[in-house]
Amino acid sequence: MEVFAAAPPCPSVFELAAAEVAAVCVGRGAAARSAAASVVTRSRPVTGSAVEPPASTPDTHHRSRIRVRGVRIGGRMCRPLASPCHVGSADAAPSRAGLSPDPSSRQIRPTMAGSSRVGRRSAAGMPIKIPGDSKIEIQNRSRNLTVYASKVVDSVAYNAMLSYPEGQQEKCVAVCRRLEHAHALFDILASCSHSNIIEPIGIWEEKGTKLAYIVFPCFDGPLSLIPTEEIFDVEDATNDKSYTFGFTDQGCKIFVEMFMAVKYVNDLYDDEQIPLKALNFDESKIFYQLNAQRDYRVLLTDFKLEISPTGNARNNRKGKGKASSTVPTVDELKVANWNGLGQLLQKLHKNLGLHAELNHFAELLGKKTVKYEDLVWEAGLWEHNSKVQFIREIYWHYNNDEAKISQLKLRASLGLKSCIDKLEVNKSREPNKEINDKSLYNSLFFLRVYMVAHRDDLIKGYSGAKETVEDRKAVVRLLMKECPTYMVKLIAEIRHLGWIKESPFLRSK
C-alpha cells in the first residue's frame, strides 16, 4: 500500500514556497539551501490565510500548481498530495515577519502505512495563491493529482482528479481525517472485500500536523441526496407527510445492499480480520454511484474511530473525543451495527409516515438482542416477489394435507376483511361460496387466489379505479394500506408452525 504526504492548506508566501522546494528537494544539499536563501532575500513576501473553500470550481486557465517529484519507497512511486486551498491575492501587503519563514510552512514526508512509519528523504510543496485559483495541482512521474477547493454536496469529501501522461483523466475524492484515524480507517477498509464497502486509493499525510487525507474513487453523491421517492413507495410524492408502502424496488435494493454489508462486517469480527470498531451510518459518509440505467450502488466508507468502539460517546470530560479504553465483545459490535442501520432507516424516512412493515423492521434493528437470523424474516426487508413466493410455498405445505389445514383453521385470521370488501370479490360469488376472513386458512385462500394468482375476474368485477387492481403489485399496495400488518402476522404464524425453515430472503441472495 502506498502512503503519501500532503502540503498544508494555503500558506501565505508563494515565494517561500519555491524557496522551500529548492531547499529540501532530494539530492540538493547545501548548495541548494544556499540558493534558496538567496531567492528568499530577493523576494517580497505576502500574507494570507486559509478560509472556507468556495462552493464551486471556476473554469479558469490560470490555476495554481506545485510540481513535486514522487519519492520511491520499496520500488513504488509515492505521490504527494496538496490539501484543498482557497484563493488568495499575490498583491497583499508585505509580511511584518520580514524574511522569516512562514510558520505555516511544512515539509511533506512520504511514509509507509500502518502503526510503524518509515521516514524517507523529504520534498516540500507549497500552494501558490493566485487570484481566481481554486485548486492545487501536484505532479509526479506517473500522474498529476488535482484537489479542488469544492466539496461534493452534503459530504465531507473534496472533489479531485487524477491525470495521466497519456492524457486520460480519472475523478476521485479526498477526505481529511486525524492522522492516526486515517491510518486506522485505511487499514480497516483495505481489509474488506465487499462491493458495498469502498476501497481507498491511498493516504497523504500533512507533515507538521495531525491530519492526513484518504483518497477514494469517485462517487456521485452522499446517500442523503437520493430523493425520498426513489427509496420509498410514496402515495403522494408532493406531500411531505404522505403515506408510504414500504420500499420501492430501488430502495429495497439500496437497503438490502447495506444490510448485507453489515452482515459481512459482523462476520469479519468473528474471524478477527478487522479491529472492533462500529460502522458509521452518517448519511454524509455513505456514498452512492449511479450507472447508466440509473441503478444506485451504495458504498459504506467509515467506521467510528473518534468515539468508543461500540459507537457510544464517552461522557466524562477527560475522555471526550477519545476512543474508549473499554473493548467491546463481538456480539456488542454486531448489535451496534444493526442499531446504527435501524437509526439510518428512520432518518431516510424523514417526515413520511413509516409503514407498519418498516416500523416493525426498524424496531427489531434497534433492539439490544437483535440477530441476523431474525432480521432475514422481516417483511420490510423482502422484495415483492419474495412475499408472493412465500405465500405459494405455504400453499404447497398445506395443500391436500388435512392435518395442516386443520391447524390453519384454528389460527387467527390476518384481518383482511376490509380489503376483501373493498375489492368486491364476493359480488359475483354464490352465497355459500363467499370468501370470509374467519381464520388463517381463509386469509391464505384470499391471498393465494386474488394476490398471488391475480384472477381476471377481480379486475372485471371491481367497480373502483382499475389501476387499483391492474396487476399483482397494485393489489399488494392496496393490501399494505388496508391491512398494513398482514405480512408481519403471516410470517410470525408460519415461523410458529415451523413449516418453512429458511427465509425466502436468503434464497434471493
pLDDT digits 0-9 by tens, 332-364: 999 999 999 999 999 988 777 778 999 999 999
pLDDT at residue 99 above 50?
no
Residue 397 is predicted with a pLDDT of: 96
Domain match, 273 and 343 both: yes
Domain match, 277 and 169 both: no
What φ, ψ does residue 325 adopt, rounded to 5°?
Answer: -80, -10
Is 431 strand, coil or helix? Answer: helix
Specify the DSSP element, H or E, that contains 71.
strand 71-73
Within the chain, how many helices (H) and strands (E) appear? 16, 16
How confident is residue 26, by pLDDT bands cut at 50, 70 and 90? very low
Q: What is the mean pLDDT of residues 151-162?
A: 86
pLDDT at residue 302 above 70?
yes
Domain boundary among 324, 359, 381: 381
Residue 131 is predicted with a pLDDT of: 33
CA distances from 466 to 139, 236, 452, 460, 471 (A): 64, 18, 18, 9, 9
Domain match, 177 and 243 both: no
Specify the amino acid at residue 303: F
CA distances from 324 to 3, 189, 314, 317, 368 (A): 27, 21, 7, 12, 20
pLDDT at residue 48 above 80?
no
Q: How far is Cα 202 from Cα 143, in angstroms, rounded to an integer?
A: 14
Q: How far is Cα 307 from Cα 299, in angstroms, rounded to an integer?
A: 22
Cα four-point dihedral sign 29, 34, 37, 38: negative
Residue 207 is predicted with a pLDDT of: 64
Q: What is the mean pLDDT of residues 315-341?
A: 73
Output the pTM of the full model: 0.70
How confident is residue 296, by pLDDT bands cut at 50, 70 and 90? very high
pLDDT digits 0-9 by tens, 228-263: 889 998 877 677 667 788 899 999 999 999 999 999
How confident is residue 373, by pLDDT bands cut at 50, 70 and 90? very high
Domain match, 91 and 208 both: yes
CA angle (502, 503, 509) in 5-degree steps: 105
Domain match, 314 and 270 both: yes
Return the top range by mean pLDDT from 117-131, 149-163, 232-246, 483-497: 483-497
Residue 178: CB atoms within 10 Å? 16
% of the chain with per-residue pLDDT over 70: 63
Do 365 and 354 form a contact (C-beta atoms < 8 A)?
no
What lies within 8 Å, CB to CB, of 324 at 6+ separation is: 307, 308, 309, 310, 312, 314
Residue 300 is predicted with a pLDDT of: 98
Lowest-confidence segment of 50-64, 153-167, 362-376, 457-471 by average pLDDT: 50-64
Domain match, 249 and 357 both: yes
What lies within 8 Å, CB to CB, of 69 at 6+ separation is: 25, 26, 123, 140, 141
Domain match, 240 and 208 both: no
More confident residue, 491 or 139: 491
pLDDT at residue 143 above 60?
yes
Residue 75 is predicted with a pLDDT of: 36
Residue 243 is predicted with a pLDDT of: 74
What φ, ψ does residue 176 adopt, rounded to 5°?
Answer: -90, 130
**Cell 363467499 belongs to residue:** 434
Domain range for 409 = 385-507
Mean pLDDT, the chain, integer:
72
Q: What is the mean pLDDT of residues 175-181?
A: 88
Do 162 and 208 form a contact (C-beta atoms < 8 A)?
no
CA angle (346, 351, 356) in 5-degree steps: 60
Residue 464: CB atoms within 10 Å? 11
How confident is residue 134, by pLDDT bands cut at 50, 70 and 90? low
Q: How far is Cα 206 from Cα 119, in angstroms, rounded to an integer?
A: 14
Helix axes 486-497, 384-398, angle to 10 degrees: 40
Domain match, 201 and 243 both: no
Cell of 19: 524557496
Residue 466 is predicted with a pLDDT of: 63
Strand order in the sheet with 202-206: 65-67, 135-139, 144-151, 158-163, 169-178, 211-217, 202-206, 3-7, 81-82
Residue 313 is predicted with a pLDDT of: 46
Q: What is the mean pLDDT of residues 64-85?
A: 33
Residues in the chain: 509
Residue 136 is predicted with a pLDDT of: 57
**Cell 492524457 belongs to residue:** 167
CA distances from 327 to 269, 330, 332, 353 (A): 13, 9, 10, 38
CA distances from 326 to 89, 90, 163, 278, 313 (A): 50, 51, 45, 13, 12
pLDDT at residue 186 above 90?
yes
Residue 305 is predicted with a pLDDT of: 86
Domain boundary among 381, 416, 431: 381
How confident is residue 299, by pLDDT bands cut at 50, 70 and 90? very high
Q: How far is Cα 150 from Cα 170, in angstroms, rounded to an integer?
A: 17
What lies within 8 Å, CB to CB, of 172 at 6+ separation is: 145, 160, 161, 162, 201, 215, 216, 217, 218
Do 279 and 269 form a contact (C-beta atoms < 8 A)?
no
Do 421 and 435 form a contact (C-beta atoms < 8 A)?
no
What φ, ψ does residue 457 adopt, rounded to 5°?
Answer: -65, -15
Residue 460 is predicted with a pLDDT of: 61
Domain match, 369 and 277 both: yes
Q: How far is Cα 267 from Cα 256, in angstroms, rounded to an integer?
A: 16
Beta strands in 101-224 (DSSP E): 135-139, 144-151, 158-163, 169-178, 202-206, 211-217, 221-222
Domain match, 74 and 178 both: yes
Domain match, 339 and 467 both: no
Cell of 422: 373493498
Domain match, 341 and 390 both: no
Domain boundary among 360, 381, 402: 381
Q: What is the mean pLDDT of residues 315-336?
A: 67
The count of domains in the chain is 3
